[in-house]
Structure 1
Amino acid sequence: MQIRTRLTVQFSLLVSGILLVTFVAIYFFSYINLREDFYDRLVSKANSSARLLGGVVVSPDIIRALEGSNTDRIYNQIILIYDDKNRLMYTNSSTSSKSIHVSRYWLNEVRKAGEIRYTDGQSKVVALSTKLPYTQAVVLLGAQDVVGQVNLINLSKLLIGLFIGVTIIVAFAGWIFAKRALRPISRVMNEIEGILPQKLDTRLEVPNQQDEIGRLTTTFNKLLDRIETAFQMQKIFVANVSHELKNPLTKIRSQLEVSAMKERSTSEYRSTIHSVLEDIQELAQLSNTLLELAKVSEDQGDLLTEVVRIDELLWDTRTTLSQSSTQCFIQFQLDELPDDDTWLEISGNSTLLKTAFLNLMDNACKFSEDHSVNVSLRTSENKVTVQFSDKGKGIPEPDRTLVFQPFYRSENTANVKGYGIGLSLVDRIVKLHNGTTTILPNHPQGTIFILEFLRL
Structure 2
Amino acid sequence: MKIKTKIALRYSIVTAVLVTVFATIIYFVSAHDRKIEFYDDLYKEGISKANLFFEAKASPETMHSIYKNNIEYIDEVEVAIYDTQFGLLYHDAKDIDIVKETPELIRNVINSKKNIDFYVGKYQAVGFIFHYNASRYVVTAAAYDGYGYNKLHRLVVNLAVLTFGCIILSFLLGYFLARRALKPVSMMSDKMKDITAKNLHLRLLNYNQYDEFGELAASFNKTLDIIESSFESQKMFVSNVSHELRTPLATLIGEIDYALLKERTVGDYINTLQNSKYDAARLIKLVNGLLDLAKASYEESKISMSEVRIDEIVLDAREDVLKSNSLYKVELQFSHPTESDAELIITGNEYLLKTAFANLMENNCKFSDNKKSTVKISSEENVIHLSFTDTGIGIPAEDLGNIFKPFYRGKNKEFIDGNGIGLALVDKVIRIHKGKISIDSVTDMGTVFNIDMPNIRQ
Report what 1:316 is aligned to: 316
User: How many angstroms apart in 2 are the aligned matches of 1:232 and 1:68?
Assistant: 103
TM-score by length of 1: 0.91
Q: Map 1:367-378 to 2 at 5 A.
A: 367-378=367-378
In structure 2, the residue corresponding to 1:237 is in which secondary structure?
helix
Worse overlay, 234-243 or 62-71: 62-71
Query: How much has 1:13 moved relative to structure 2?
Result: 1.4
| Amino acid corresponding to residue 448 of structure 2 in structure 1 | T
SS in 1 for 2:77: strand
1:50-97 deviation line (CA, Å, top 9, x unaligned) = 3333334332233344556889x861532222222233332212323x
Give the aligned partner of residue 390 of structure 2.
Answer: 390
Aligned mates of 1:128, 1:397 — CA distance in 2:
111
Question: How far did residue 9 of structure 1 move?
Answer: 0.9
> Superposition pairs for residues 333-372 of structure 1, below 5 Å?
333-372=333-372
Output the amino acid matched with 1:185.
V
CA contact (8 A) 1:375 1:386 kept: yes
1:55 & 1:309 partners in 2: Cα distance?
116
- State the 1:177 CA deviation: 2.8
Distance 1:409 1:103, change over 3 A: farther
Q: Are the counterparts in 2 of residues 332 and 375 from structure 1 also a CA contact under 8 Å? A: yes
Query: Could you tell me which amino acid in structure 2 is paired with residue 450 of structure 1?
Result: I
Give CA-to-partner distance per residue, 1:146-196, whole Å, 9 cap, x none. 111111111111111122222222222322333222222112111111122
Letter in 1 for 2:191: E
Q: Hey, what does 1:292 align to over in structure 2? A: 292
1:436·1:453 contact (CA, 8 Å) conserved in 2?
no
User: Is 1:447 aligned to residue 445 of structure 2?
Assistant: no
Question: Residues 360 and 103 of structure 1: is their aligned pair in 2 closer, same or farther, counting only changes over 3 Å?
Answer: farther
Query: How big is the shift at 1:397?
Result: 4.4
- The 1:410/1:386 distance shift into structure 2, 3 A limit, reads same
Secondary structure of the corresponding residue to residue 347 of structure 2:
strand
2:167 is aligned with 1:160: no
Residues 304 and 337 (structure 1 numbering): CA distance in 2 closer, same or farther, change over 3 Å?
Answer: farther
The residue type equivalent to 1:346 in the other structure is: I
SS in 2 for 1:139: strand
**Counterpart in 2 of 1:304?**
304
Query: Does the 8 Å CA contact 2:84/2:106 hold for their aligned counterparts?
Result: no
Identity %: 33
Match in the other structure for 1:253: 253
Q: Could you say what secondary structure the match of 1:199 adopts?
A: coil
1 CA distance for matches of 2:397 and 2:91? 115
CA distance in 1, matches of 2:434, 2:274: 44
2:435 maps to: 435
User: What residue is the counterpart of 1:34 in the other structure?
Assistant: 34
Contact 1:107 1:138 in 2 (8 A): yes
What corresponds to 1:16 in structure 2?
16
CA distance in 1, matches of 2:105, 2:289: 105
2:95 alignment counterpart: 95
Local SS of the residue matching 1:113 = coil
3-state SS of paired residue (2:30)? helix
User: TM-score, normalized by length of structure 2?
Assistant: 0.90
In the alignment of these two chains, the number of paired residues is: 454
Question: Partners of 1:14 and 1:397 in 2: how far apart?
Answer: 67
Asked if 1 retains the 8 angstrom alpha-carbon contact of 2:39 and 2:126, the reply is yes
Q: Give, in whole Å, the separation in 2 of the partners of 1:442 and 1:67.
A: 123
Query: Where do 5+ consecutive residues of structure 1 fail to align?
Result: none
Task: Identify the range of structure 1 (81-90 vs 149-158) with the bigger mean alpha-carbon deviation.
Answer: 81-90
Change over 3 Å in CA distance of 1:56–1:194 after alignment to 2 = same
SS at match of 1:276: helix
